Amino acid sequence: MKKELTYTADIPEDVDVSIEGKMINVKGEKGENKRLFHYPGIELKKEENKIILHSKIATKKEKSIMGVSLSHIKNMMSGVKEGFVYKLKICSGHFPMTVESKDKEIMINNFLGEKKPRIAKILEGADAKIDGEIITVESWNKELAGQTSANIEKATKISGRDRRIFQDGIFIIEKDGRKIE
């Protein structure tokens, strides 16, 4: 069934939003996010302090894409205003591993007794701080914070060993305030 559909998102006070064609630019106190929304049949408009997504003939596909686009826009606005914080925990049971931050990389030494250090990249726009057994990843872009955290967790992935016995690694324990269990 095709029908006209409109979604709106309120712009917070401290956030500046500009739309040029299909490109949305969001600026705030933490940083700046840019994103291209290029789906045909969906219009982007800014009126007063609202962003409006509009489609004249919306099917299920357009409705789902509009919902995802609205979520991305809301994440962009909350990111430049408050930022996103991911937390990871360093767990070592067999061998004492050392984790240090150099340039834009996290170096994991002595992981399961390995001589060669494992390296995880910190993406441009994200910051990682090590405080004891907790690694904190911060960014104004949710995707950068999540990908940097995933890079760190994936660097300590174990294959070919029993996970019930070898429980060493670095694991995500908190995603933007929500605890992972």
Note whether 37 and 22 are same-domain residues.
yes
Choosing from 32, 66, 81, the residue where a domain stops is 81
Note whether 70 and 125 are same-domain residues.
no
> Looking at residue 17, what is its pLDDT?
92
Q: Is the dihedral of CA 130, 134, 139, 141 positive or negative?
A: positive
Q: Domain count of the chain?
A: 2
CATH code for the domain of 28: 3.90.930.12
> Looking at residue 164, what is its pLDDT?
80
> Looking at residue 1, what is its pLDDT?
64
Note whether 172 and 97 are same-domain residues.
yes
Please give the residue range of the domain that contains residue 122. Answer: 84-179
Report the Cα 179 to chain-centroid distance in Å. 15
Note whether 88 and 175 are same-domain residues.
yes
pTM equals 0.86
Note whether 145 and 94 are same-domain residues.
yes
Note whether 54 and 128 are same-domain residues.
no
Choosing from 62, 81, 100, the residue where a domain stops is 81
> Looking at residue 78, what is its pLDDT?
92
Phi/psi at 175 (nearest 5 deg)? -115, 105
Note whether 72 and 89 are same-domain residues.
no
Note whether 91 and 103 are same-domain residues.
yes
Give bridge partners of residue 108 from the DSSP assignment: 99, 118
Task: Please say whether the beta carbons of 116 and 164 come within 8 A.
Answer: no
> Looking at residue 94, what is its pLDDT?
75
> Looking at residue 159, what is its pLDDT?
84
Give the CA distances from residue 126 to residues 35, 47, 49, 116, 117, in Å, rounded to whole numbers and listed in that order.
17, 32, 29, 25, 22
Note whether 166 and 88 are same-domain residues.
yes
> Looking at residue 166, what is its pLDDT?
78
Note whether 71 and 44 are same-domain residues.
yes
From first to last of its 181 residues, what are the pLDDT tens digits of the chain? Answer: 688 899 999 999 889 999 998 899 999 998 899 999 888 888 999 998 999 999 998 889 989 999 999 999 999 999 999 999 999 999 988 788 899 998 899 999 998 888 999 999 999 999 999 999 999 999 999 999 999 999 999 999 888 888 788 788 899 999 987 888 7
